[in-house]
Structure 1
Amino acid sequence: MIIGIIPARFASTRLKGKPLKDIGGKPMLQHTWENAKKSKLLSDVVIAVDDERVYEVAQRFGARVEMTPKDLETGSDRIAYVAKKLFSSEIIVNIQGDEPFIPGKMIDEAIEPLLFDKNVAISTLAKRITNVDELNSPNIPKVVFDYNNFALYFSRSPIPYVREVASDKQKLLVADIYKHIGLYVYRKEYLLEFTS
């Protein structure tokens, strides 16, 4: 089985109560969950929460919800905590709760490498940056790939460094610079090893 898990922390460091922020009359988390449910490859979508308020709201809109300890350090730790309970799952998809507009099709595209190659343990998504504001925003993680499309590193600073260009706009014209999309797909055993 392929299970999507959405980690949703109420006490987000950058925006407290973020999962419950209203977007068009619905909580951000509900948008994320509804779009994840549009994936053709996910067998189920579970929301991993650390707060009763988020738990209650998610239950009201019909989600399967799992309570996790507040002291888990990362979203990956929260995902692994829930994944351990999902005995029949083989592939786990970490869908960030603050990705309310992620299309189900993109989730499926991230899953496919693990279906076609048993040696692939993890995959993610990235999109080319096309404007200077995204390039310079510390709120948008950037990713650099090698020639085989394996991620080398992630940063909130503009990467890679591009020599001999006069402006950030020129960087975008001469270099392929990518932003990370908030999604990771893991083989369950790799996720549990990675977070242990």
Structure 2
Amino acid sequence: MIPARYAASRFPGKMMKDLAGKPVIVRTYESTVATGLFDEVFVVTDSEVIYKAVEEAGGKAIMSIKEHESGSDRIAEAVASLDIDIVVNVQGDEPFTTREDLEPVLGVFYGDNADQIDLASVMMPMTEGVEIENPNNVKVIVDNADFALYFSRSPLPYVRDTTAGITTYKHKGIYAFRKQAILDFASMNMTPLEKAEKIECIRFLEYGKKIKMVRSSKLAIGIDTPEDLEEAIKIYKGL
């Protein structure tokens, strides 16, 4: 499931911005299908423009019936009647999503501590100070078993002692949920921390859900700003 809304607060209309000849959302849909991991891939949206663009490109889309505060709420509505166990959420602004990204996230549901996992996601190390300070990059800290402790747009953790050997991790917007976890999410009230940070996975943590983080060394290229789009265009054009 690829949730996509037109009125993004930081970069309005970004899903429909041209990325080397196709809208960003179509590029993301096609890259997700190309992983070969799924029987079905859907874009879930509240926008007729996005819905039409996906269908015209030969893709599958679902129109949301209700208004939703988050992508997870949107997906919960779409999957409520489906006979499935694991639901994967790929962010609509992640056109460079690959099988390498998704396969390890799915794999945790068949590995150690699988019965403890409500959902899984991806994190990768950050080294540049300007990237760590950038609020568009969500940071995550984990426990010794790589279960998420907290997410923030602020630098996390604050490194007071530079000899501590701390690595800052960026959260990449790919999730795999147990169906019940995402249905539970939709029935939970938004928490103050989630509202303050504008990070929906905080709601899972505040209600006691367990989020397993998968480590990745691959550079995440999402599209949060016009500058990100310019960089993505250069990659597609091989510049």
Q: Distance in 2 between matches of 1:108 and 1:120?
A: 16
Q: Distance in 2 between matches of 1:194 and 1:81?
A: 11
1:195 pairs with 2:192: no
Contact 1:90–1:187 (Cα < 8 Å) also in 2 = yes
Q: Distance in 2 between matches of 1:187 and 1:12?
A: 27
Q: Distance in 1 between matches of 2:55 and 2:126?
A: 36
| CA 1:25–1:70: 2 relative to 1, 3 Å | farther
Q: Distance in 1 between matches of 2:80 and 2:110?
A: 21
SS at match of 1:44: coil
Contact 2:73–2:185 (Cα < 8 Å) also in 1 = no
SS at match of 2:167: coil
2:156 corresponds to which residue? 159
Q: Distance in 1 between matches of 2:149 and 2:28?
A: 27
Shift of 1:78: 0.5
SS at match of 2:41: strand
Q: Distance in 2 between matches of 1:54 and 1:13?
A: 16
2:39 corresponds to which residue? 43
Contact 1:46–1:66 (Cα < 8 Å) also in 2 = yes
Q: Distance in 1 between matches of 2:100 and 2:126?
A: 20
Contact 1:6–1:97 (Cα < 8 Å) also in 2 = yes
2:84 corresponds to which residue? 89
Aligned counterparts, 1:1-196, within 5 A:
5-69=1-65, 71-85=67-81, 87-116=82-111, 117-165=114-162, 174-196=165-187
Question: Could you tell me the TM-score, scaled by structure 1's length?
Answer: 0.89
Contact 1:142–1:157 (Cα < 8 Å) also in 2 = yes
- Aligned pair count reads 185
Contact 2:17–2:23 (Cα < 8 Å) also in 1 = yes
Shift of 1:115: 2.9
SS at match of 2:12: coil
Q: Equivalent pairs: percent with the same residue? A: 37
Q: Which has the higher strand share?
A: 1
Question: Could you tell me the TM-score, scaled by structure 2's length?
Answer: 0.73
Q: Distance in 1 between matches of 2:7 and 2:36?
A: 32
Q: Distance in 1 between matches of 2:21 and 2:110?
A: 37
Shift of 1:30: 1.2
Question: What are structure 1's unaligned runs of at least 5 residues?
Answer: none
Contact 1:37–1:104 (Cα < 8 Å) also in 2 = no
What are the superposed Cα offsets for residues 129-174 of structure 1, whole Å, 9 maximum, x if unpaired?
Answer: 1212210111110000111100111001110011134xxxx99xx3
Which region of structure 1 is more displaced relative to structure 2, 145-154 or 64-73? 64-73
Shift of 1:57: 0.3
Shift of 1:20: 0.6
SS at match of 2:42: strand
| CA 1:100–1:61: 2 relative to 1, 3 Å | same
Runs (4+) off by over 4 Å: none
Contact 1:110–1:185 (Cα < 8 Å) also in 2 = yes
What are the superposed Cα offsets for residues 65-89 of structure 1, whole Å, 9 maximum, x if unpaired?
Answer: 000146211111001011113x222
Q: Distance in 1 between matches of 2:120 and 2:167?
A: 19
Q: Distance in 1 between matches of 2:52 and 2:30?
A: 17
